[in-house]
Amino acid sequence: MAAEIPLNQAAFELAKYHMENGLIMHNRLAAPVLGAMGFALLGAGCIQAAPNKAKTTIPRKKTMPFKPQKAKDMFVYVGTYTGNGSKGIYVYRLNPDGKLGFTNQTAETQSPSFLALAPSGHTLYAGNEVWNPAEKPGAGVSAFAIDAKTGGLTALNFQSLGNAVPAYVSVSPNGKVLAVANYGGGSVASFPLSADGKLGEQAFFDQHTGSSVNADRQKEPHAHSVLFDASGHYAFSADLGVDKIYIIASIRRPENSRPTTRLSLLFIPGRGRDTSRCTSRTVSPSSSTSWIQRSAHSVSMLERVR
């Protein structure tokens, strides 16, 4: 008579043997013991062996070795003031080694002091900071198509800003609106953008008002920047002349001639230069409130303007 082996040890040895040899084992009594070990051993109260089958090996997929993408040259666009012989926007090529070289390409336009690239990378926009009304076509915004191979710029069209003088331009995340901060005149405007990158007629205008304590630079409003939040629902405009950051809703919807809501953060008097350093890079609809709260240490008042 064979020596008796404890149930748990016998079940374990049988399970191990059958699993190593590709067999199927069913044992009702062994199930509770081995269940906790991750085996499902259910059956008719006996041990059954299936025909031994050759082990099958699943071939591993060949993985391609990681190859970092080769860095490519980039085009760099430099805006200038054109009062002293400069022609406008100069096109440079930046290689992966960090060397910058002029491509001998220039887009002639009046004082393109600030540039903004469309999200698609196909269009470049410029704010034409022209202070002399006698210089035509004068202050406005310009659009240029970018040649993907050469980086060259082709003028698409120009829109005048009238008596306003731009200092900053930015494109909405969806590429459908160009926002403009006008240092001269202290205002914010927007232009719809067509599928081919051209500027439509001015569709939105918001005039800032007020002054502050610095007699040299704060006798009147001077909008210094305008930026969209990540969603594109809100625009943030810093005004150096009145110590405020304006938060504008619905600026991206050209059909609205006025914003639905405008909030302004009033900074400590004379700190207007600080507002021009603020950006909306980290602001989203879900975090706008917390962003305002985090800024409270330098904000003396929050006001709602209709």
Longest dimension (CA), the chain: 118
List 78's β-bridge partners, or say none. Answer: 90
pLDDT of residue 268: 59
Contact between 76 and 95 under an 8 Å Cβ cutoff? The reply is no
The residue written with tokens 């639905």 in the block is 260
Structure tokens at 83: 């009062």
Encode pLDDT of 188-245 as tens digits: 999 999 999 999 999 989 899 998 888 888 999 999 999 998 888 889 999 989 888 8
- SS3 category, 262: strand
List 145's β-bridge partners, or say none. Answer: 123, 154
Cα–Cα distance measured from residue 142 to residue 127, given in angstroms and rounded to the nearest whole number: 7
Cα–Cα distance measured from residue 172 to residue 158, given in angstroms and rounded to the nearest whole number: 19
243 backbone φψ class: left, alpha, beta (φ>0; ψ -120 to 50): left
- The topology (CATH level 3) of 79-305 is Methylamine Dehydrogenase; Chain H (2.130.10)
Alpha-carbon distance values, 269 to 13, 218, 226, 264, 299 (Å): 84, 10, 20, 14, 10
Give the pTM. Answer: 0.67
| 210, amino acid identity | G
Cα–Cα distance measured from residue 279 to residue 55, given in angstroms and rounded to the nearest whole number: 63
Cα–Cα distance measured from residue 62 to residue 122, given in angstroms and rounded to the nearest whole number: 38
pLDDT of residue 247: 86
**Strands (DSSP E) found in 79-186:** 88-94, 100-108, 112-117, 123-128, 140-146, 153-160, 165-171, 177-184
pLDDT of residue 117: 97
The residue written with tokens 């305002």 in the block is 292
Domain ranges within the chain, ordered by starting residue: 9-37, 79-305
First to last CA, the chain: 99
pLDDT of residue 4: 43
Contact between 201 and 163 under an 8 Å Cβ cutoff? The reply is no
pLDDT of residue 233: 83
Would you give per-residue pLDDT tens digits along the chain (306 residues)?
A: 444 444 455 555 555 555 555 544 444 333 333 333 333 333 333 333 444 555 556 666 666 676 666 788 999 999 999 988 999 999 999 999 999 999 999 999 999 999 999 999 999 999 999 999 889 999 999 999 999 999 999 999 999 999 999 999 999 999 999 999 999 999 999 999 999 999 999 998 989 999 888 888 899 999 999 999 888 888 999 998 988 888 887 665 544 445 444 566 665 566 555 554 444 333 333 344 333 333 333 333 333 332
Helical H segments across the chain, by residue range: 7-20, 30-35, 272-275, 288-294
Tell which residue, 157, 277, 301, 289, has the closest CA to residue 227. 277
